[in-house]
Amino acid sequence: MEYVKISKENGQVVPCVAEFPEKPEGVVVAVHGFSSNKECMTYQLLLRRLPAAGFGVVGIDLPGHGKDEAAGEELRIAACLDSIAAAERYAAERFPGLPIGYFASSFGAYLTGLYISTRPHRGRRAFFRSAAVNMPTLLVKEPTTDAERQMLADLNGKGYFDANLGTGRPIRISRGMYHDLETTDLFALFDLNRYGENRVAMAHGTEDRVIDPAAARRFAEQFDVPLTMFHGEGHSLSDAPDTPDRVADLAIALYKEA
């Protein structure tokens, strides 16, 4: 495994983990979920499975996440898309001519959906795991609990709040990021073909308590995206020992499509 640091055009750094087979047939950019980082178990799975299947993988730290340079960059949607673009550029420069794909989890899938819909990009295959297709609704809503009322008070008073979705450590949401979420609806913006023909596939757990499975189904139906539901699985898609590898199998099959 390699630790790579990629510079963005604004001078910020994207810390990454990477693994490549001797002669890759493609490279996958991996994007983690909210409050996760490049040390996550999903990246460990991809670093093991994808190179064995012939694909390199570059897993990034998103802004505001992890322990390295990315932790100091404000979490904003544009900054996240810039990080994905930087990793994609690195892959294209290191392996010219090879196809690029994406593997994105939860919040990372929301971002990757925005990325392929709103920016020119090189990749043509994207796999969404437990996709937070309704991400704005998790944080931008009328408060109904004391904790939610406190978050809104912090946003209005301090200019930020620390959000905890139960998936890891709290992540700081600034006024700017809150506005980003208010105005960035993936259901309204998603377009498979605006910047070239893309293929997307999804996997979701029937017992996901973070991202409503009904939202995933609605998204898949609206955009005609193949969706594999894993019965009895929660948000991590790892309750059964073989589920992570089954998810990886689905992603690899997508990347190998002609």
Residue 12 Cα distances to 8, 73, 87, 102, 187, angstroms: 5, 7, 13, 22, 30
Topology given in CATH for the domain delimited by 2-136+184-255: Rossmann fold (3.40.50)
End-to-end CA distance of the chain: 28
Residue type, 139: L
Predicted local confidence at residue 142, as pLDDT: 87
The three-class DSSP label of residue 162 is strand
Predicted local confidence at residue 169, as pLDDT: 87
Predicted local confidence at residue 181, as pLDDT: 98
* Averages of pLDDT over each 10 residues, the chain, 258 residues: 95 98 97 96 98 98 96 97 98 97 98 98 97 96 88 94 87 97 98 95 98 98 98 98 98 93
Residue 254 Cα distances to 15, 101, 189, 231, 247, angstroms: 26, 9, 23, 21, 11
In sequence order, the 6+-apart residues with CB closer than 8 A to the CB of 153 are none
Predicted local confidence at residue 163, as pLDDT: 92
Predicted local confidence at residue 105, as pLDDT: 98
The three-class DSSP label of residue 227 is strand
Predicted local confidence at residue 246, as pLDDT: 98
